[in-house]
Chains A and B, each alone.
Chain A
Amino acid sequence: MSRPAPRKPEYHKINKDLFVLTYGALVAQLCKDYEKDEDVNAYLDKMGYGIGTRLVEDFLARSCVGRCHSYSEITDIIAQVAFKMYLGITPSVTCNNSSRNEFSLILDKNPLVEFVEELPAGRSSLCYCNLLCGIIRGALEMVHLAADVTFLQDRLKGDSVTEIGITFLKKLDEKKYRRKK
């Protein structure tokens, strides 16, 4: 049963596809279970949230990021460290408002849709990658940051880019500070 070492590259290929294929099969199953796109989207977001709350532990253990002092820094870390570590891509970051709490991640490449050419028929409102929004939201909440995370644009829906919007809401900690006064 001895096989030569060069088989390794094939392992990587199968491994890389495993998550993407599983995700695709999951979305397909949810489309069978739920008629409305909104329900599938909500479900994906909910599952993503659960994943995010656990992923952040793995991330903090492996990335050695220091304390962040601004929403801008946090968004940069999400794009340049987290996305890179877990999906092998680096979305670009833009800040959308002067109060500097609204940001966008522009995804040039997206491994999740590698095998998806277009949305299934009758599913034009499906946010195929909505799991990602839930993951970001769940992870941020674990570090006491509340945020709204949604897809602002989606190539699968015909937009020119895929854009995830992150709006940081009031820090959950702030209530604590107010009480101390």
Chain B
Amino acid sequence: MVDAVLFELLHTEMVAELWAPDSDLDPGPGVSAGRGGRGQRTSLQVLEGVGFRVGQALGERLPREMLAFREELDVLKFLCKDLWGAVFQKQMDSLRTNHQGTYILQDSSFPLLVHVGSGLQYLEEAPKFLAFTCGLLRGTLSTLGIKSLVSASVAALPACKFQVVIERS
């Protein structure tokens, strides 16, 4: 069985390495040929995209009986309880909704932020550590047939909130 610490270290390394401040600016002659192909996509989008792929793949691996959700709220509860439990060995601390497709998931001690710092220090760095997970949530929802927009915010590390907005067609 693959040890959980490997994922955490890989995530930290991805944040450090895929984060290239240059790519946020207009790609000029200074950008190396290799990275130039990324165009206008920011590093946050890249991290989110990697997370999305993983979320999709994880969603595909869930046993069928887990997917018999009666309603949308059940899906979100699943994310908060089962997905979070499997990925982070803990559950989301709270789930709120306006019953109109917007959900706020709160984690008072998000494992991928715990080692970054606490309080207001490194607040600016926090989004980098949340991008992958936003993608993960969006990807899992996608496999469950739900299109969404997922964003995250941090008021003070390591607590954070994920906002899931369901896109209704």
Contacts and interface: CB of A to CB of B under 8 A. Distances in A.
B147 interface: no
B34 A34 contact: yes
Interface in A1-16: 1, 3, 7, 10-16
A111 B112 CA distance: 23
Nearest to A9: B63
A18 B7 contact: yes
A20 B57 CA distance: 11
Interface in B74-98: 77, 81-83, 85-87, 89
A22 B46 CA distance: 13
Contacts of B89: 15
Contacts, number: 112
Contacts of B85: 11
A162 B35 CA distance: 30
B61 A86 contact: no
* Chain B interface mostly: helix
Nearest to B135: A25
B10 interface: yes
B81 A3 contact: yes
Interface in B48-69: 49-51, 53-54, 57-58, 61-63, 66
Interface string B19-57: 000000000000001110110000000100111011001
Size bracket of the B interface: 35 or more
B9 interface: yes
Contacts of A85: 3
B5 A58 contact: yes
A32 B35 CA distance: 9
A33 B7 contact: no
A159 B83 CA distance: 38
Nearest to A35: B34
A131 B7 CA distance: 13
B19 to A, nearest CB: 12
22 contacts: A11-B86, A15-B4, A15-B86, A15-B89, A16-B1, A17-B57, A17-B58, A18-B2, A18-B7, A18-B54, A18-B86, A21-B58, A22-B7, A25-B51, A26-B10, A29-B46, A33-B35, A47-B10, A50-B17, A58-B5, A85-B3, A86-B5
Given A1-B81, A23-B10, A50-B17, 12 more contacts: A3-B82, A14-B86, A15-B4, A15-B86, A21-B53, A32-B38, A50-B16, A51-B6, A55-B6, A86-B3, A86-B6, A87-B3
Interface of A: 1, 3, 7, 10-26, 28-29, 32-36, 39, 43, 46-47, 50-51, 54-55, 58, 85-88, 111, 115, 131
